[in-house]
Structure 1
Amino acid sequence: MAAQDRVEGVYGPGSFTDTAFTSVPVESKRLLVELAKKTPGFTTDQSLIDGVKFVGDELPCIPGPIKSQAFVAALHGLAGIVGHEILQLRGFKTSGETTVNTDAAGMFPATPALVHIDGSDGPQILKNPAVKAFDHGALGTPVKLRSQAIYPTATPGVWFQLHGSLGPEPILRSIGVDPNATFASGDEAYEHIKKVTQTYTASDLEQLMLSRGFPGSIVHSPASWLDTTMGRSLARHPLVDYSKVQFTENIPPVAFPTAQENPDARPLAGVKVLELARVIAAPACGTILAAMGADVIRVNSSRLPDFTPAQVTLMAGKRSIDLDLKKDKDKETLESLVADADVIIQGYRLGSLERRGFGRSLALKLASARKRGVVYLDENCYGPDGYYAERPGWQQIADAAAGSSYVIGKSYGFPDGQGVLPSLPISDMSTGILSAVNVMSMLRDRARYGGSWSGCSSLTGYNAATLQSWVGLYQPDIVKRIQDRFQFEPMTSDLHVIELYYAIARSWDRYAERSGNSYTRNEEFYTHFKDSVYGKDLRILAPIVQYTNPLDRDSTPTWTSPPVPFCFNETAVFN
């Protein structure tokens, strides 16, 4: 596949735009091939790479110039390939074929919004009595909702991503906004905060958030991000980033269960995964691993706020328990789970659990004592090292930092420097599948070479990868074609990601009404659970990786249990 010429600067400094359009399935395959080359330790078995088939519509279904849909489809292709490698290690004869529908992959970032319960959908889902509110009021008023928005600053042409996190009060107070102020609408709250942010330079806001330990980011162009110390530090790491832990070479390989030992033909049958995470990215990883056959236990704390809508989708195939690390009994429970786990997904700030005695050090110590290596994944905003590594961050922060929000704003015709969020929690969900590829690769290598393995997946790393010159961006006429087809509602700097993703789902629904059973109305893209805690018919987006060859049909990813609310199970031990 010949490389095409690209034009630099169409969407701001450091942006690289294609000169010709390639359909989403074809582009997905190109990106898969390139990612396979750029991923250390990835398979050189060309038959597995050739065996990935991408099917779907020619045109993307996600607004803007970033190739999010093709990129996330390619990541699912990588996961499908590693799944085949693991099946072969288990003694299964496989076809080596993986199918990824790129339309479903385009819907994947909207997973939290694509829920139907007994005929209800959209925001109505949050009124279901079984969907327990876990945001602790973090988004309960207009001013708190608009604590997560992009604002102009006193620095001409430089905007700032403010992020109230799941505790907006201290962040709003830090800039001089009363978190208890009442406003009639989100627009009114936005205008009030906007007047305040314009009294700060962009660098003053950045330094204020950094010094207080709060999230936040200047809206960088792709070039200005790579010119920062943190941008250069993160760029040194490959996207799929893992290695064997030093001094664990004496731990023997851990074989996957054979078909005779475990009749479940999904790749990760018998693998025990402990999920220590909140919100979207790391939980998305755990849900993907559960579909691949892993036994996943999610540890929540009812004392901590979490992303309420995620319960109905990103808990599929899992169990969830409530632990309080201030209680000795709960600390003992968590240590026993760490001691038994094959995989630990850590989605809090880098070093946060380590300081509480439940980080990588404990996992490696217990793995050494049992003579069975552990796979440890850090999922965070900024990567495994560097100036901002321990800084808190969220999807919106990564979008602003790496240049994604800058590029989106430019593509929508806003002035240089004005950021607009990508329309969905794209970096969140995409880092989820990236993390799953990371974990599956480490499990494969633990079985081959022994030892314990450690990796990191970062939101900003994902965003920066999609903006690299080898990926390219869609031309303005393609951005217009996407908009003309789906007639997306206006997207602006003030909107919260929840407002955006419900708006995208509405546009897909309207398009499906006009064009037939496509996208949100294509039942092939969904899975149903009968008599779940939420209702008699719960419908969510199905796993994207599919093994459609009859030889592999029993191995295709699927969930064997419906999503449950956070803190649902009284106790849980690995099977």
Structure 2
Amino acid sequence: MNTASSPDSSLSATSSASATLPADALAGLWHGAGLPPEALAHLALTGADPVLPSSFAVGTAAQASLGASALAAAALWAQRTGRWQDVAVDMRHALAEFRSERYLRVNGGPAPELWDKIAGLYPCGDGRWVRLHTNFPHHRDGVLRLLQCAHDKNAVRAALGRWEAEAFESAASDAGLVVAAMRPYDTWRAHPQAQAIAGLPPVIIEKIGEAPPQPLPALPPHAEINVDARPLTGVRVLDFTRIIAGPVAGRTLAAHGADVLLVTAAHLPAIAPLVIDTGRGKRSCQLDLRDPDDKRTLHKLLHGADVVVQGYRPGGLAELGAGPEAAARARPGIVYVSLSAYGHVGPWAGKRGFDSLVQTATGFNDDEARAAGSAEPKPLPAQVLDHAAGYLLAFGAMAALHRRAVEGGSWHVRVSLAQVGQWLRGLGRVPEGWRVPDPHFDEMSDLLEVQESGFGELTVVRHAARLSETPAHWALPSVPLGTHVPEWLPRG
């Protein structure tokens, strides 16, 4: 790709006449979820794009998605107490939280390494690029088998020089691996998967079963003077997620008071810094759903849950008897929240993927390069699709709880990284936004806090939303996977 001669060529094709204001972006999410419009009068948003170097309105996406989740918490508080509270979100702080894994420090030093040494972008023999995601050992080993080369960047680069980009993408996908060929946006827009999700909102909230209205559990006595009482006090969340988007959703629900129980299994790989960063506020247990006894334990937990959040491969939990329809039959009134990479419809509905891959496949890497006049692909300055999806998953869960209290029913909330990318594009472009300097760690120190954890002393980003009556916070520290027993805490 040679883009240096036309740095702004992609802007004219994909920009709206003017960028969407953050308040308007949030209002669009809010009205789409069917939540009370009077809530918007209690919201204050400060700051403006660009804050990070990008030609996309990543600050608007951060502020709107994180702000929507916080305002949904305020709406639940009003539903439970009759009182609205004020919600404020600053764009700079929201973007810091969108890069929370970058600011994590453990015992005063760097966090464990996030990326495998061969992960990243490579040119192929046809002049196009592919991105490899090899952070899980089975994905790494599968890519190396397919390439028939050593675990070394130079060896991988040489091997990919013998492939065409889309041919390698297809071969990897057929093998259950996670690889994406880089596409210009116009090519992605014509792709059958893009056509399948065109027009879908970033958050889909559907009633999937009948159940009587279920208001949230009564707050403890004198909740209005109890600093531990928050909008989701007494709400139970089963968290079946890994990596960033799903875990951010659980972390956000925990920040507003939910009892979030992370469920993993000893045989599943995990990425240490993400476990540490997104584990704040959660308890953590291990269940192997292939084991009959553990499966029975899961169903006991499901009967006591209000929300299930899952981000495994499409159909994975359904095959184990824990999909949305089964959950709604077992626990009428459940709010089931599903994350996927490319959407629940279309030829790629079952395709595995992560933020960096979806950025590559759907044109963001190409567009950022064109905007900056770079001859090589450029990623967004954060895992924007992941983090936005995480806050939108939490937003959708709380919106469904709000509607369940009034309308009854079981609910299914769907978010995909590709639909979030579609929404991000719709927010408009930021001319010359890529020229903004990327802030150093020390420049963000006012947004960080130090807390103890099961991993030692952590430096982390504080939650960016400020709620006037129920400040968001994590009452529990991050802990190693499997620290707790698979049981619910008492609701009161």
TM-score in same-fold range (> 0.5): yes
**Secondary structure of 2:336's match?**
strand
Deviations 1:90-142 (A, max 9, x none): 024123x2100211111112112323444x133xx339xxxxxxx9xxx6xxx
Give 1:50 deviation, angstroms: 3.3
Residues of 1 paired with 2:104 and 2:109: CA distance? 6
Aligned with 1:467: secondary structure? Answer: helix
Q: Is the 8 A contact 2:182 2:366 kept in 1?
A: yes
Distance 1:427 1:121, change over 3 A: farther
Question: Equivalences for 1:85-484 in 2 at 5 Å?
Answer: 85-95=75-85, 97-118=86-107, 120-122=108-110, 125-126=111-112, 145-146=117-118, 148-156=119-127, 158-166=128-136, 167=138, 168-179=140-151, 189-245=152-208, 248-249=209-210, 251-259=211-219, 263=223, 264-368=228-332, 373-415=333-375, 418-468=376-426, 471-476=427-432, 478-480=433-435, 482-483=436-437
In 2: Cα distance, 1:240 partner to 1:41 partner? 12
Q: Secondary structure at the match of 1:288?
A: helix
Give yes or no for contact 1:55–1:101 (8 Å, CA) kept in 2.
yes
Counterpart selection for 1:10 from 4, 8, 23: 8
CA deviation digits over 1:273-320, x for unaligned, max 9? 000111111011000000111110001112111111022221111100
In the alignment, is the contact (CA less than 8 A) between 2:189 and 2:195 conserved in 1? Answer: yes
In structure 2, do the counterparts of structure 1 residues 362 and 527 end up closer, same or farther at CA, with 3 Å as the change threshold? farther
Aligned partner letter, 1:205: F
Contact 2:66 2:388 in 1 (8 A): no
2:69 aligned counterpart, secondary structure = helix
Is this contact kept in 1: 2:213–2:409, CA < 8 A? yes
For 2:304 and 2:28, how far apart are their aligned partners in 1? 37
State how far apart, in whole Å, the 1-side matches of 2:171 and 2:398 are: 39
Question: In 2 relative to 1, CA 538–199 (structure 1 residues): closer, same or farther, beyond 3 Å?
Answer: closer
The Cα offsets for residues 34-77 of structure 1, whole Å up to 9 and x where unpaired, read as 4445x2424333xx223321224x55332221211221101122
Which structure has the higher relative contact order (CA within 8 Å, separation 6+)? 2
Q: Kindly tell me: are residues 526 and 366 of structure 1, through their superposed partners in 2, closer, same or farther at Cα, counting changes over 3 Å?
A: same
Question: 1:19, 1:475 within 8 Å by CA — same for their partners in 2?
Answer: no
- In the alignment, structure 1 residue 53 sits paired with structure 2 residue 34: no
**1:533 corresponds to which residue?**
454
Quote the sequence identity (%): 23
| 1:65 aligned partner | 55
Asked if the contact 1:284–1:314 (Cα under 8 Å) also holds between the matched residues in 2, the reply is yes
Tell whether the 8 Å contact from 1:60 to 1:106 is kept in structure 2 after alignment.
no
Amino acid corresponding to residue 311 of structure 1 in structure 2: V
For 1:543, the equivalent position in structure 2 comes to 463
Whether the aligned pair in 2 keeps the contact of 1:277 and 1:347 (CA below 8 Å) is: yes
Q: Distance in 1 between matches of 2:88 and 2:193?
A: 37
1:376 alignment partner, SS class: strand
TM-score (norm: length of structure 2): 0.90
Cα distance, 1:14 vs structure 2 = 7.9
Amino acid at match of 1:467: R
CA distance in 2, matches of 1:459, 1:342: 24
Q: Tell me how far apart the structure 1 counterparts of residues 258 and 182 of structure 2 sit (CA, whole Å).
A: 38
Q: Hey, what's the Cα distance between the residues in 2 that align with 1:571 and 1:242?
A: 28
Residue of structure 1 aligned with 2:71, choices 75, 81, 105: 81
Residues 374 and 262 of structure 1, relative CA distance in 2, 3 Å threshold: farther
CA distance in 1, matches of 2:199, 2:17: 28
Contiguous gaps of at least 5 residues in structure 2: 1-5
Match of 2:3 in 1: none
Deviation at 1:449, TM superposition (A): 0.4
Distance between the aligned counterparts of 1:35 and 1:364, measured in 2? 25
- Match of residue 499 from structure 1: none
Conserved? CA contact 1:17–1:475, under 8 Å: no
Query: Which residue identity lines up with residue 558 of structure 1 in the other structure?
Result: H
Shift of 1:466: 0.9
**In structure 2, what residue type is equivalent to 1:542?**
R
| Uncovered stretches (5+) of structure 1, i.e. residues with no partner | 1-7, 128-134, 180-188, 487-506, 513-519
Describe the SS at the equivalent of 2:99.
helix
The whole-number CA distance in structure 1 between the counterparts of 2:236 and 2:382 is 30
Q: Is the 8 A contact 1:319 1:572 kept in 2?
A: no
- TM-score of the pair, normalised by structure 1: 0.78
Alignment of 1:14-29 (within 5 A): 15-17=13-15, 27-29=21-23
How much has 1:151 moved relative to structure 2? 1.8
Aligned to 2:37: 44
Deviation per residue, 1:147-168 (Å, 9 max, x gap): x211222334x32222225121
SS at match of 2:266: coil
2-structure distance, mates of 1:161, 1:538: 31
Deviates more, 1:451-460 or 1:108-117: 108-117
* 1:74 match: secondary structure: helix
Query: 1:32: how far off?
Result: 2.3
Aligned to 1:503: none
Q: Cα distance, 1:348 vs. partner?
A: 0.1
Change (3 A) 1:203 1:13: farther
CA distance 1:15–1:565, change in 2 (3 Å): farther
- Equivalent residue, structure 2, for 1:490: none
Native 8 Å contact 2:219 2:233 kept in 1:
no
Q: What code does the residue aligned with 2:36 have?
A: T
1:355–1:19 distance in 2 versus 1, CA, 3 Å: closer
Aligned mate of 1:32, from 26, 29, 38: 26
> Within 2, Cα distance between the matches of 1:100 and 1:240?
21
Cα distance between partner residues in 1 of 2:13 and 2:463: 32
